[in-house]
Amino acid sequence: MRKIMMQQNYEAYQAEDQAVWQLLFKRQWENLEDKAVPELWPALKAAQSALNGQAIPNFKELSPLLQKEQNFSIELVPGLIPVEEFFALLAQRRFPSSCWLRKMEELDYLEEPDMFHDTFGHIPLLFNAQYADFMQEFGRIGLQVAHLPDAVAALERLYWFTIEFGVCKNAQGQAIYGAGILSSFGESIQVHKGQNCEFRPFLLESVLKHHFHKHEMQSVYYYLDNFQSLFGLLKSVEQRLLALA
């Protein structure tokens, strides 16, 4: 684990940064109205005093609010972090987030996640109690199997096809809950229209073996019957992964 805690230098954000945030937030808020799982909206409402389209969120406001609501906090990180550190943070109910923001010319493509992905994509659903507990349990299981490379790889695939790129079946097609889709204008439209992609029923064995690609829109998504189905997955996952020991 890192010894020095990162701090957000809020005064360093420029006018262009604020404009980028406002554009991204407004665009996705309007875009997701008919595309996201219903559980997203009360979560966003719970976060809205510190997470909204008016300005880049100040983590000195957002983290205490999340702590008050769900006993979860935000840990600032420079970017992608080692997987064992990631598991440890989740197990301690601390979500890692970057504090750098994409530039105007990078609105729709990034090499790695920025704070819009982390805060708009991930943080809102942490205001949902079941989801917050799920994330903590995910971290706990990750720490248990961190010494098993095959188990870690399987757990990373589960994370990818649920927390990052998860969808649920609904009457209109697919409802989005994965942060990678929630924070992406193009990918949320792709999923909603069902274009250039395939939707498969969520079969745990298939998901745990499915290799994914990080730097392009996904071509395969695994759908759950409903958002609540997510919270029953980890018991079966833990048993399977520990069997690899």
Read off the tokens for 129: 């109690």
Contacts by residues 42-48 (CB-CB < 8 Å, ≥ 24 positions apart): 42/127, 42/128, 43/124, 43/125, 43/126, 43/127, 43/128, 43/131, 44/124, 44/127, 46/127, 47/123, 47/124, 47/127
Q: What b-and-e string marks burial along 88-114, b requiring 16 or more CB atoms within 10 Å of the CB? A: bbbbbbbbbbbbbbbeeeeeeeeeebb
Check residue 243 and report its DSSP letter.
Answer: T
Residue (of 1, 217, 185, 197) closest to 90 by Cα position: 1
**From CA 23, how far away is CA 38, in angstroms rounded?**
23
| Residue type, position 218, single letter | Q
Please report how the helices 185-193 and 15-31 are oriented relative to each other, as an axis angle in degrees rounded to 10: 10
| Distance between CA atoms of residues 27 and 23, nearest Å | 6
- 11 annotated binding-site participant: no
Annotated ligand binding at 33? The verdict is no
Q: Is 122 annotated as a binding residue?
A: yes
CA atoms 163, 72, 133, 36: torsion sign: negative
List, in order, residues 6 or more apart from 34 with CB less than 8 Å away: 172, 192
Query: Which residues are known binding-site members?
Result: 117, 122, 164
Query: Which residues are known binding-site members for Fe cation?
Result: 117, 122, 164
